[in-house]
């Protein structure tokens, strides 16, 4: 009887919660976030496993993750879900290809968000991963439905967006992919900003960008 009760208490999302925590710790290691900034989630069917709000990642346990339905109702968890829950749900609800969301406050990507300047297509290998020009979402107060809507609009036909005066967000088919894209975005933003300081960046030819955007669409299953 005791064993039966114990088994019932184990969440079916245990592995997903651990994977979310692992990605959070990698974000810290890669210098994409500090403290409890940014947030991570994964979609499993009609539920989302998301990081809790305001807990430093290095002090976070997998039990701190919160399971939500697609309307934001808490299914499992005792902590408050991420303050950017509305943004995560908006991305899942508007993008069928989104299975994981990684939101960072990384240095160079956030510098782009502060400049309020899109990242043009400058490197061949990047466009098939992120899509063409990466937009900056119109400013809105963090945690609001307005921010969620603005970010989803900036994300159209892309795997990444800058969040105006705030940070960056990437969507992927897996958590690992979303984290990788966050690193690609950060590195490309750094390259662009270095190039701008050194001269005038030369953009990719338009026909190459179109071909690479077609590859992006194919890879996303559109």
- Give me the residue whose beta carbon is nearest to Zn ion: 167
Q: Which residues bind Zn ion (CB under 5 A)?
A: 167
Pick the closer one to Zn ion by CB: 81 or 167: 167
Pick the closer one to Zn ion by CB: 2 or 141: 141
Pick the closer one to Zn ion by CB: 128 or 167: 167
Q: How far is CA 143 from CA 128, 150, 177, in A?
A: 30, 12, 24
User: 3-class DSSP state for residue 216?
Assistant: helix
- Nearest distance, CB of residue 204 and Zn ion, angstroms: 30
Helix axes 107-115 and 175-198, enclosed angle (nearest 10): 60
- Nearest distance, CB of residue 84 and Zn ion, angstroms: 6
- CA distance linking residue 176 with residue 182, whole number of Å: 10
Strand order in the sheet with 74-76: 74-76, 66-69, 47-50, 39-44, 100-104, 167-172, 160-163, 136-137
- Nearest distance, CB of residue 75 and Zn ion, angstroms: 23
- CA distance linking residue 48 with residue 209, whole number of Å: 34
User: 3-class DSSP state for residue 136?
Assistant: strand
Pick the closer one to Zn ion by CB: 164 or 167: 167
- Nearest distance, CB of residue 3 and Zn ion, angstroms: 42
Q: Are 200 and 119 in contact (CB under 8 A)?
A: no
What are the DSSP E strand ranges found in 64-187?
Answer: 66-69, 74-76, 100-104, 136-137, 160-163, 167-172
Pick the closer one to Zn ion by CB: 81 or 128: 81
What positions carry a catalytic annotation? Answer: 84
- Nearest distance, CB of residue 168 and Zn ion, angstroms: 9
């Amino acid at each position: 009887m005791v064993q039966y009760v114990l088994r019932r208490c184990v969440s079916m999302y245990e592995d997903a919660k651990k994977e979310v925590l692992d990605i959070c710790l990698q974000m810290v290691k890669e210098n994409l976030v500090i403290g409890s900034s940014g947030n991570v989630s994964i979609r499993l069917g009609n539920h989302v496993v998301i990081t809790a709000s305001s807990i430093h990642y290095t002090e976070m346990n997998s039990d701190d993750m919160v399971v939500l339905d697609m309307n934001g109702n808490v299914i499992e968890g005792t902590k408050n879900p991420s303050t950017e829950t509305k943004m995560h749900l908006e991305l899942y609800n508007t993008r069928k290809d989104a299975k994981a969301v990684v939101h960072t406050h990384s240095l160079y990507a956030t510098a782009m968000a502060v400049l309020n300047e899109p990242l043009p297509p400058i490197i061949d290998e990047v466009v098939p991963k992120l899509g063409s020009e990466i937009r900056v979402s119109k400013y809105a107060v963090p945690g609001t439905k307005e921010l969620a809507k603005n970010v989803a609009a900036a994300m159209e036909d892309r795997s990444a967006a800058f969040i105006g005066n705030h940070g960056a967000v990437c969507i992927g088919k897996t958590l690992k992919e979303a984290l990788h894209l966050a690193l690609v975005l950060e590195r490309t933003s750094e390259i662009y900003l270095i190039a701008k300081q050194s001269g005038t960046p030369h953009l990719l030819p338009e026909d190459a960008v179109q071909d690479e955007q077609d590859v992006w669409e194919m890879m996303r299953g559109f």
